[in-house]
Amino acid sequence: MVSDNQVMKTVPLAEGEPTWVFPPESVTPSLMASLLASSGRLLEIASLLPHGRAGWSGSGLEYNVFPSGQRSLSGWAENDQVTFLAELLPPGFYPDGAPQQWEVTADISVRCDAKNDCGMHSVEEFTPNSYATAEDAVAAVEKAAGWLLDRCRAVPPGDWRTRDPRAGHA
């Protein structure tokens, strides 16, 4: 199911075109298997969360297509208590970013609980890193998705709020 919210279009991994994000020569069966494993981990996280869901399409990893032409790959699993997010940005995604570096990030966040909601508060982060190749970046996404799943299994969903260092800020 493709979702288009005017800010970006999200396309499930299985329905998209890998060359939207990856150079054609890097799209191998092993790269796609790693992406499918990462997507599966996000789906598993969603299944462990009460009333959990995985991505806009419910499918785990999704391609993000922006009106500007930028494209990325990300996935999240969440419920009303916590969000687990992994993201891969290709080289040149940001004009001032490293031109030949792939960026991979992952974090666990909770919604601001202050009177004036400021958005999401990051509670834990997977060490963000830059990679020289698509293959290395995809391997890092798989590692990050595994870390998210491990953290989801280790901490009950309701306990993430207590780990927010900015809880109740003014």
Residue 96 tokens, joined: 């001032």
Whether residue 12 is predicted with pLDDT greater than 60 in this model: the reply is yes
Which whole number is the average pLDDT over 82-88? 96
Whether residue 74 is predicted with pLDDT greater than 80 in this model: the reply is yes
Question: What is the value of pTM for the model shown?
Answer: 0.90
Per-residue pLDDT band at 6 (split at 50, 70, 90): low
> Higher pLDDT residue, 5 or 50?
50
pLDDT, tens digit (0-9, with 9 covering 90-100), for 109-162? 988 777 777 777 788 999 878 999 999 999 999 999 999 999 999 999 989 888
138 contacts 35 by C-beta, under 8 angstroms: yes
Domain assignments of the chain as residue spans, ordered by start: 3-163
DSSP class of residue 155 equals: S
